[in-house]
Amino acid sequence: MSSVRAQTTRLAIYGGAFDPIHNGHLVTIAQLLASGQVDAVVVVPSGDRPDKQITVTATDRLWMTRLAVEEAFPSDPRVSVSDLHASRKVGYGTIDLVDHFLKQPGIAPYVVVGQELLVDLPLWKEEARLRSVAHFIVIPRPGTVVDELPKGISASWLTVPYEAGILISSTTIRDMLARGLSCAGLLPASVIAFCRSRGLYRTQP
C-alpha cells in the first residue's frame, strides 16, 4: 500500500499598515523567499486599528498591496495578499492571524517582524499566548546594530544569500507624495499610478 507523505508549508505572515507599500517591503518579501526559511509569504495589510492612526482606508491599502505584489512577483504562487484584516474577517491582532492559519491543514505559520518592533511585543494582543504558539522571523534593519534575539520566544534572524535594503520609511514617502515629489524607484509604478488616480496622500492642489 502506498502512502502520501504529508507536506507542511512554512508560511511567513507579513503584516503591516503598508501605508503605502514600497520597494523596501518588496525587498523583504524577496529576501524571505530566498532565505530558505519559509516556503511562501502571505502579505496582510491591516484594517482599521484601534491602536494606530492610518492615513488612507484599508481598501486602498489592500489594493496598493495587491498591485505591488503582482508587479513585483507576477504569477508567483509563493506570494499572496490576504484581506483577512482589511475586510475584518478576523480580529486586528497578529494572534488572530496565527490562529486562523493554524487551523489550515499543513500550514506552519511564521510571524515576520522588524527588529525595532520587538520592544513593543509586550503590548501586542494576547502577547503571552502569541509567544507560546508562534515562531518569529526577525528582519534586521539596514544601519542598525544586530543585538541578541529576546529570550522567551521562538525566533530566528532572517538570513539571506545577498545584501539588500532600502533606507526609507512609509512616513517619508507619504511626505514626498503630499508635496508632489517623485517617488520613482521607491514605489512600484502601479502604486504611484494608483495614488495619483485616487489623489492619495496629497495635501496640496
Cell numbers of 126, please?
494576547
The domain ranges of the chain are 9-198
Q: Which residues, 6+ apart, have CB-to-CB distance to 203 below 8 Å? A: 178, 179
- Residue 51: predicted pLDDT: 63
Cell numbers of 202, please?
496629497
Return the amino acid letter for 97. L
Per-residue pLDDT of the chain (205 residues; tens, 9 = 90+): 333 345 899 999 999 999 999 999 999 999 999 999 999 999 999 997 666 677 799 999 999 999 999 999 999 999 999 999 999 999 999 999 999 999 999 999 999 999 888 888 999 999 999 999 999 999 987 666 657 787 888 999 999 888 777 778 899 999 999 999 999 999 999 999 999 999 999 865 4
Q: Which residues, 6+ apart, have CB-to-CB distance to 128 below 8 Å? A: none
- Residue 143: predicted pLDDT: 61
Q: 65 and 87 in contact (C-beta within 8 Å)? A: no
- Residue 151: predicted pLDDT: 80
CATH fold, domain 9-198, is Rossmann fold (3.40.50)
